[in-house]
A = this chain, B = another copy of it.
Amino acid sequence: LESYEAAQGWIVVTIIGAAIGLNAAFLNIITEWLADIKMGHCKTAFYLNENFCCWGEDNGCADWERWTGLEPINYFLYIMFAILFSFTSATLVKSYAPYAAGSGISEIKCIIAGFIMKGFLGFRTLAIKSIALPLAIGSGLSVGKEGPSVHYAVCTGNVISKLFNKYRQNASKTREILSACAAAGVAVAFGSPIGGVLFSLEEMSSYFPLKTMWRSYFCALVATAVLAAMNPFRTGQLVMFQVHYDRTWHFFEFLFYIIIGVFGGLYGAFVIKWNLRVQAFRKKYLANYAILEAVLLAAATAIVCYPNAFLRIDMTESMEILFLECEGAEDYHGLCESKHRLRNVISLVIATVVRVFFVIISYGCKVPAGIFVPSMAIGALFGRTLGIIVQALYDANPQSLFFSSCQPDVPCITPGTYAFLGAASALSGIMHIYVSVVVIMFELTGALTYILPTMIVVGVTKAVSELFGSGGIADRMIWFSGFPYLDNKEEHNFGVPVSHAMITDVVSIPSTGLTLKTVERLLAKDNYQGFPIVDHENSKILIGYIGRTELCYAVERAKRERTLSPLAKCTFASSTTNSSSAMDPTATTPIVLTTSASLPSEPLDYASSSSTTIDFTRYVDATPVTVHPRLPLETVLELFRKIGPRVILIEYHGKLMGLVTVKDCLKYQFKAEAAEHGDRDREVLG
C-alpha cells in the first residue's frame, strides 16, 4: 500500500499525459480538416482533409476539389465558413463555459501560484475549450492553438487528479501536477517536450523544484509519446513541419540577426501596449456583444486576408513555407525565385502589417485564442522580408568586403533562416520567455546549426524588451485584470521595513476565554483569512495562527459531535504550548471540567469531559511564519515567493505587532509605484 502511495503520483501523471496526448491528436486532426474545408472538399470521403485526400501526392490532386470553379464564389464561401465557425465557437463559449475564452495562461499562472478561481479548470471548461478551439482556429481568426493547449492540458490534469484522494485534499500537490500539465500542453502543441518543461519553469511556475521538473519531464514525455503514436499528421513527425538547413551562417550576418532581435522586442512592446488598450475598450463597450464581435472579426479577417497568398493559408502552414531553404524543387507562389523579389517583398510587408493589426484586435476576443503562433508567423514574415532584402544586397554586390566570407559557388544568404529567427524573436518578444523559445525553435525545426544565431536573436530581443519593462503579455494581463500575483521576474526595491506595509489592527484570538458565540460572530462578521492566536488580548504574546477554513471546519465539527452551549469556552493552546506563559503573569489557563451533558454513548475520554470547553489546539498552527517588524519588505516578498505562506505575522520580542498577506504587499507596491510614476501607466488603458 505504501509503495502504491509513492507510485500514485507517477500513475496519475501517466494517465494525465496520455489524456493530453490523445486530446492533442484529436484537436490536430479536427483543426486541419476545418482549415481545409473552407477551401474545398474531398470527393472520395468528405471527412478527409486535403493532405489525406491526396495522400502521397505533392501539390494537390483531382480528388480534392475547390467548392466551385468560380473564384468569387469560393471567396464568398470562405467568408461564410469563417463566420459559421466563429459564431459556433463564440456561442459555445458564451453559453456553456465563459472561462474557455482566451488563452488562459495568465489565469493559470495565478492558479499555480496559489490563487483560487472556481471552475476555471473544471470539466466543462475542458470540454468546451476542446470543441471551440478547432472552430476558432478554423475560422481563420489571427489566433493560435498553442496557448489554449496549455489551458486544456491543465484542465485535463485538474479533472483527472481530482479523481484521486491524494490530490483532492492537497492543493500544493495538485499545483505541482498543474505545472507538469502546463509543460505537457506546450510539449504537444509544438512537439517539443523539453521546450515544454522549460516553458513551465520559465513562465508558468513561481516555484519550480527539481521534483516538479521531473514530473513535468515525465508528463511531457508521455503526452508526446502518445501523440507520436497517434501520428496525427501521418508523417511520423511530431510537428507539422521540420526544416533542415544544410547551409550554415556567416559571422557578418550577426548584424542582421541583431535587427531581427530588435524587431522582436519592438513588436512585443507595441502589441502588448495596443492589445491592452483594445482589451480595455472591449471590457467597457463590447462585454455584451461577444458573439457579434467574434463573427465580425472573423468576417473581416477572411475578407482582408484571402487575397494575400501568405495570409490566406493557416499560420502554421505559412511558417512552414517561409522557413523554406529553397533548395531543390521546393517553392510556393514563386517565393524562392529571385525575379519575383520585389513582388514578394511587397506582399510580405503587407502581410506583416495586416497580421499585426489583426493580432492586436483579435487576441482577447471571447473564443479560445492564443498568441504564440500568430506572433511567430509575424516574425517569420518580417524575417523573410529582411532575408530577401539581404539576398538582393548580396546579389548586387557579391564582391564587396562585407560579403567576403561568402563562398562563390553556393548560395550565401538563406532567407528561410531569417524567417526562422524572426519567428523566435517575435515569440520571445511577446511572451518574454527566452531559454524556452530557443529550445522550442530547436525542437520544432531541428535547426541545430542555428542555435547560436537563435540565442543571439533572443538575447537581443530580451535586452530590447527590458527597456520597455513590465513583463510579457501574460504578466500584463494579470496586472490588467488585477489578480494578486507576485512576479518573481521583477526585483522590487522598496527600501522600507515590512512594518510600513503591515496591517496593525489585527483581529486576534486569545488562547483561552473566548466563548463559542464570539468565535462564531468573528467567523460570520469578518472577512479575514485567519486569526493569530495570542496569549492574552493585552499582552499579545503570539502563540500561533488558525486559518479561517480550519476554524470553520473545527466549529462545525464540534457542533456536529455534541450539543454545545453558545457560552462554551474555546481554548486554542494546550498547556504544553503555554509552558512559558509563566513569564507573563497576566496569562492564566483556567481548565473547566464539567461532565458531558449530551451523548451517553460517548466514550469517557478527554473530549467527553469538555462539552463546555472546546479544544481547538490541534487546528492551530503553532509555528506560523513570523518576522521582525524591521525586516526589509523585499525579504518578506522573497519569503512569500519561496516559502509560500498565506500570511506572515510580524512579531517583536514575542509580541504580535501585525500581519501581512501578499495582497497587502501588492497594495503597498501599487501605492509606491503610483506615487512614483503618477498615473502614467493606468492612463494608458483609458
Contact = CB atoms under 8 A, between A and B. Distances in A.
Interface of A: 193-194, 197, 202, 209-211, 213-214, 217-218, 221, 224-225, 228-229, 236, 238, 242, 248, 251, 434-435, 438-439, 442-443, 446, 448-449, 451-452, 455-456, 459, 462, 488-489, 491, 541-542, 580, 583, 622-623, 626-628, 630-632, 635, 638-639, 642-643, 651-655
Given A193-B452, A221-B455, 19 more contacts: A193-B455, A194-B451, A194-B455, A209-B488, A210-B489, A214-B462, A224-B452, A229-B251, A442-B442, A443-B451, A446-B446, A580-B652, A580-B655, A623-B628, A626-B628, A642-B643, A652-B654, A653-B654, A654-B655
A221 to B, nearest CB: 5
A259 B577 CA distance: 55
Contact of A194 (B236, B438, B489, B639): B438
A622 B626 contact: no
A87 to B, nearest CB: 39
25 contacts: A193-B452, A194-B435, A194-B438, A194-B442, A194-B455, A210-B488, A210-B489, A211-B491, A213-B435, A214-B462, A221-B452, A221-B455, A221-B459, A225-B456, A229-B251, A236-B248, A442-B442, A443-B451, A541-B653, A580-B653, A580-B655, A623-B627, A635-B643, A639-B643, A642-B642
Contacts of A442: 194, 442
Given A248-B236, A652-B580, A434 B623 contact: no
Given A217-B434, A622-B628, A653 B448 contact: no
A652 B653 CA distance: 9
Contacts of A211: 491
A654 B535 CA distance: 13
A172 B623 CA distance: 29
Contacts of A214: 434-435, 462
B446 A218 contact: no
B193 A451 contact: yes
Which of A452, A630, A635 is the most central at the interface, judged by chain B CB atoms within 10 Å of its CB? A452
Given A210-B489, A627-B623, A225 B448 contact: no
Nearest to A216: B435
B642 A631 contact: no
Contact of A638 (B202, B229, B251, B643): B643
Nearest to A497: B623
A218 B442 CA distance: 18
Contacts of A580: 652-653, 655
Contacts of A225: 452, 456
Contacts of A439: 194, 439
B639 A630 contact: no
A653 B583 contact: yes
A488 B248 CA distance: 41
A658 to B, nearest CB: 14
Nearest to A627: B623
Contacts of A541: 653-654
A217 B448 contact: no
A618 to B, nearest CB: 14
Contacts of A622: 628, 630
A98 to B, nearest CB: 33
Contact of A228 (B194, B452, B627): B452
Contacts of A213: 202, 435
Contact of A455 (B209, B217, B491, B654): B217
A125 B409 CA distance: 48
A152 to B, nearest CB: 22
Nearest to A641: B642
A469 B194 CA distance: 25
Contacts of A455: 193-194, 217, 221, 224
A210 B217 contact: no
Contacts of A489: 210
Contacts of A653: 541-542, 580, 583, 654
Query: What 4 pairs across the A-B complex have the smallest Cβ distances?
Result: A654-B654, A446-B448, A653-B654, A623-B628
A655 B653 CA distance: 7
Given A193-B452, A193-B455, A248-B236, A435 B642 contact: no
A202 B452 CA distance: 22
Nearest to A227: B452
Contacts of A651: 654
A113 to B, nearest CB: 15
A577 to B, nearest CB: 8
Contacts of A623: 627-628, 630-632, 635
Contacts of A446: 446, 448-449
A621 to B, nearest CB: 10
Contacts of A193: 451-452, 455
Contacts of A209: 488
A435 B193 CA distance: 10
A56 B371 CA distance: 48
B435 A217 contact: yes
Contact of A202 (B210, B228, B626, B628): B210
Which of A228, A434, A626, A654 is the most central at the interface, judged by chain B CB atoms within 10 Å of its CB? A654
Contacts of A639: 643
A657 to B, nearest CB: 10
B221 A456 contact: yes
Given A448-B242, A630-B623, A218 B488 contact: no
Contacts of A642: 642-643
A491 B580 CA distance: 33
Contacts of A218: 459
A209 B638 CA distance: 11
Which of A202, A435, A459, A651 is the most central at the interface, judged by chain B CB atoms within 10 Å of its CB? A435
A209 B208 CA distance: 10
A463 B236 CA distance: 28
Given A242-B448, A251-B229, A654-B655, A217 B542 contact: no
Contacts of A643: 635, 638-639, 642-643
